[in-house]
Chains A and B, each alone.
Chain A
Amino acid sequence: MILQTGVRIGVVFGVLITIVAYMTLAERKVSAWMQDRYGPNRVGPRGLLQPFADVLKLLLKEDITPRHVDRWLYTLAPAMIVIFALTAFSVIPFHPSFVIADIPVAVLFLLAAASMDTYGLILAGWASHSKYPLLGGLRSAAQVISYELPVALSFASVVVLTGSFSLLDIQDFQHRYVWLLIPNILGFVIHLVAAFAETNRAPFDLPEAESELVGGYHTEYASMRWALFFLGEYLNMAVAASVITVLYLGGWYGPFQPGFWWFFLKVAAILFLYLWVRFTFPRFRYDQLMNLCWKVLIPLGLVNLIWVTALRLWLF
């Protein structure tokens, strides 16, 4: 049993690292196509080996630790982000027979794992002992915790409809009745918007707003430790896309031939949406971002919760 789980963990990590590596390439390629450019096309056929070249380059770069940093926290912060992003994958059901840990409180676990990321960001900003990272870290902490609330409210609305915290049960429910996207469209939209903000992606990429705060919390980082932040960011994107797929889009179920590939297709569609939005919209300003969360998404989430509850009690 443990051996089987071990093998599964190995497979998941292998697939994940590949997806994340190619996500970076996809981002550059998609942006290039949108912007009338070629994108990377030198390393390997059509630039397909580019991620490996990037990783090698990052590993071999000089790892600069500035003089004034808090060494322990400075080193641990990027690792923390990656740890919690990776851990979140343990409860994602890729297929009914392929889930590492089908725990009965998976929804709560996902919420917990997502909120742990904040520590990595704020510690990175604080430990760098520099002004730009400090501002970036503070911004990201306030942003990520604020946007956790709409996510929690959308989670709650899903649980109201399905009556279970287990992701497998939620899948079954969607298989038996209807994709939760239909009755819970508002929850889906809130979750999607909040997911963009929680993963610090455009148009909410304020913590690392390169044109204002230079690099935000990772300004003082170099080499692989810098890359870990981005590994964490892409992993978080993959987590968020998977969660949305599982909760609203029916996971592995699809019109023909349910299976893994439906799951990955939906995740890929959401990841593409991330890129599409990033290369279309400007960035929000900080107060506008907070307003969107506190004045729009949270009240909307509460209203949605009441609506969904009523739906559950009188319809199902």
Chain B
Amino acid sequence: MSAPQPYVGLALHAVVSLAIALGMVGVAAWMRYRAKRPPQVRYETYECGEEPFGTARARIPVGFYLIALLFLLFDVEAAFLFPWVRELGNLGILAFWEMVIFLGILLLGWFYALRKGDLRWIR
């Protein structure tokens, strides 16, 4: 089996997934019931039965951004980890200690974030 072969299968699968998902939306749009003269209130935003007020385009609380930043940090770390875990068998003890130090620094960073209160949700 040549190298690109599995990727052809992958691409084919992805295309079929796309077709199925969009197809469902399409079929639903084609088959759906259409009200003749729908009451306009049906198309209002849901506000528990009251008239909608205010805007939903409010500024988002800063906590969510902090989570995103932390996630980025740890995700990049995961990206660094993967080549190492793959090649660990060939690299030996030195690589192990190197990674222990790397993870140690990361844990230190995690501890810093913890102490600073970034992992607290209610502030």
Beyond A87-B17, A302-B103, whether A291 also contacts B82 by CB under 8 A is no
B94 to chain A, nearest CB (A): 11
Among B32-86, those with CB < 8 Å from A are 32-35, 38, 42-48, 52, 54, 56-58, 60, 64, 67-68, 70-71, 74-75, 78, 81-82, 85-86
Beyond A2-B8, A101-B13, A291-B121, whether A220 also contacts B71 by CB under 8 A is no
Enumerate chain A residues within 8 angstroms of B12, measured Cβ to Cβ. 2, 5-6, 9, 100
Enumerate chain A residues within 8 angstroms of B22, measured Cβ to Cβ. 79
- Per-residue CB contact flags for chain A residues 141-179 toward chain B (1 = under 8 Å, else 0) read 110011011001100110110011100000000000000
| Residue pair A313, B93 in contact (C-beta under 8 Å) | yes
| Residue pair A5, B82 in contact (C-beta under 8 Å) | no
- Per-residue CB contact flags for chain B residues 95-123 toward chain A (1 = under 8 Å, else 0) read 01001100100110010001000011110
| Residue pair B6, A101 in contact (C-beta under 8 Å) | yes
Enumerate chain A residues within 8 angstroms of B48, measured Cβ to Cβ. 214
**Cα distance, A79 to B16, chains bound together (Å):** 13
| Residue pair B45, A63 in contact (C-beta under 8 Å) | no
| Residue pair A129, B88 in contact (C-beta under 8 Å) | no
Q: Which residue of A159, A224, A290 is within 8 Å of B121 (Cβ)?
A: A290
Beyond A86-B21, A130-B46, A141-B64, whether A62 also contacts B10 by CB under 8 A is no
Beyond A83-B21, A312-B89, whether A148 also contacts B75 by CB under 8 A is yes
Beyond A156-B82, A228-B24, whether A214 also contacts B46 by CB under 8 A is yes
| Residue pair A82, B21 in contact (C-beta under 8 Å) | yes
**Cα distance, A268 to B25, chains bound together (Å):** 29
Chain-B contact segment, one of A44-52, A188-196, A257-265, A303-311 = A303-311
How many residues of A are counted as interface, with CB atoms below 8 angstroms from the partner's CB atoms? 83
**Cα distance, A104 to B92, chains bound together (Å):** 22
B13 to chain A, nearest CB (A): 4
| Nearest CB in chain B to that of A81: its residue | B21
Enumerate chain A residues within 8 angstroms of B68, measured Cβ to Cβ. 142, 145
A95 to chain B, nearest CB (A): 15
| Residue pair A149, B71 in contact (C-beta under 8 Å) | yes
| Residue pair A1, B5 in contact (C-beta under 8 Å) | yes
Beyond A79-B21, A86-B21, A129-B57, whether A103 also contacts B10 by CB under 8 A is yes
Enumerate chain A residues within 8 angstroms of B7, measured Cβ to Cβ. 101, 103
B10 to chain A, nearest CB (A): 4
Is A131 close to B, CB under 8 A?
yes
**Cα distance, A61 to B46, chains bound together (Å):** 18
Beyond A101-B7, A146-B67, whether A83 also contacts B17 by CB under 8 A is yes
**Cα distance, A100 to B82, chains bound together (Å):** 24
Among B38, B45, B54, the one with the most A-chain Cβ atoms within 10 Å of its Cβ is: B45
Among B99, B100, B121, the one with the most A-chain Cβ atoms within 10 Å of its Cβ is: B121
| Residue pair B18, A83 in contact (C-beta under 8 Å) | yes
Given contacts A103-B6, A128-B45, 13 further A-B contacts (CB under 8 A): A5-B9, A63-B28, A63-B32, A75-B25, A130-B56, A146-B67, A152-B81, A160-B85, A163-B88, A164-B86, A214-B48, A294-B70, A295-B119
**A residues whose Cβ falls under 8 Å from a Cβ of B:** 1-2, 5-6, 8-9, 12-13, 58-68, 75, 78-80, 82-84, 86-87, 89-91, 100-103, 108-109, 128-134, 138, 141-142, 145-146, 148-149, 152-153, 156-157, 159-160, 163-165, 214, 219-220, 223-225, 228, 231, 286-287, 290-291, 294-295, 298-299, 302, 305-306, 309-310, 312-313
- Which are the 3 A-B pairs with shortest beta-carbon distances? A224-B28, A287-B121, A86-B17
